[in-house]
Amino acid sequence: MRLGPALIGFTRISLGTRSSSSLRTSGAIAKANAGSCAGARPARWTSSYGPLALRRSRWKSINGECLRFQCHNVRVKRSKALVVSAGLSVLFLIVYGGCNWITSRRANVGSIYFEWERVISFVPFFILPYMSIDLFFIAAPFLCRTDRELSSFAKRIAAAILLAGICFLLFPLRFAFPRPHIDGWLGWLFDWFRGMDAPHNLLPSLHAALTLILLDFYFRHTRGFVRVAIILWFVLIALSPVLTYQHHVVDIAGGFVLAVFCCWLFREPDFSSLLDCSETNNQKLPL
């Protein structure tokens, strides 16, 4: 049997879209289960603007009805990531350096430590993991998947820096033990580093706080062997402040508490349930 031109045209137009009867059926099922979108069938459609992997459709229940939201999973612009990375670095330098400078001019600055910490050995090698955190700090914004994730990460880091700076000024401390002199290229590295970092800004350890925040970030952005290597290296970073005589144990504990608080205060978005969508990119289609 031959099909007429009108019927052929209608068939071509219908390809890649949901039929009106199918839409009505899905809407009826969704309304019957108010507050749940489990009954809504996945949308089938095509796009000429990019691969399907970059564009998805989500069903969400609003006032008992299922609505379809079309989201664009686009990475953060490098220029925006660069601005965030540079801004956080400048904030760190101003707050950390300023607090160090103020405390160094105070008299009768005390120390808080456990007596058993005197038996902890000084390990020069750990200056390498200690300083490597700067690379992870700078690179992190470029791995963010969406603007929302970038904003959440920036807020966590900024909050940790500012809250730690307040504590440094309210409770000024200094490292209690003398730092040994090191020869060789590691000694040169220590001398250069200590010329910038005075033995203040201890409690809470901002280094420990940033370590935990960054570990959580890189754990979610890596898989397999790379994830294992990242975890092991961050363990060395976490140990380095104590083994290089930069912090006491109580400082590290305070830094971890600060990191947990900042992560709780600014929770990461749940990408498994709904992709991040900006207001301008949302397309809401009632059924």
Residue 188 has what pLDDT?
A: 78
| Nearest 10 degrees: Cα torsion 199, 133, 155, 263 | -90
- As a whole number of angstroms, the distance between CA 10 and CA 99 comes to 72
Look-up of token digits 């790379």? 226
Report the chain's C-alpha Rg in angstroms.
27
Its pTM stands at 0.68
Going by C-alpha positions, the residue among 206, 205, 201 that lies closest to residue 174 is: 201
- 3-class DSSP state for residue 146? coil
86 pLDDT higher than 80: yes
Q: CA 225, CA 231: separation in Å to the nearest integer?
A: 10
- Give the tens place of pLDDT for each residue, 41-50: 444 444 334 4
Distance (Å) of CA 81 to CA 72, 171, 270:
18, 34, 20
Q: Is residue 7's pLDDT more than 80?
A: no
Distance CA 277, CA 136 (A): 27
Q: How far apart are CA 59 and CA 27, in angstroms?
A: 11
Contact 44, 59 (CB under 8 A): no
pLDDT digits (tens, 9 = 90+) for 105-136: 888 888 888 889 888 988 888 889 998 999 99
Domains of the chain by residue range: 5-72, 78-265
Please give the pLDDT value at position 252.
Answer: 94
User: Residue 230 CB: number of other CB atoms within 10 A?
Assistant: 17
Task: Retrieve residue 105's tokens.
Answer: 């001019």
pLDDT at 48: 38
Q: Are strands 55-62 and 283-286 parallel, antiparallel or unpaired?
A: unpaired
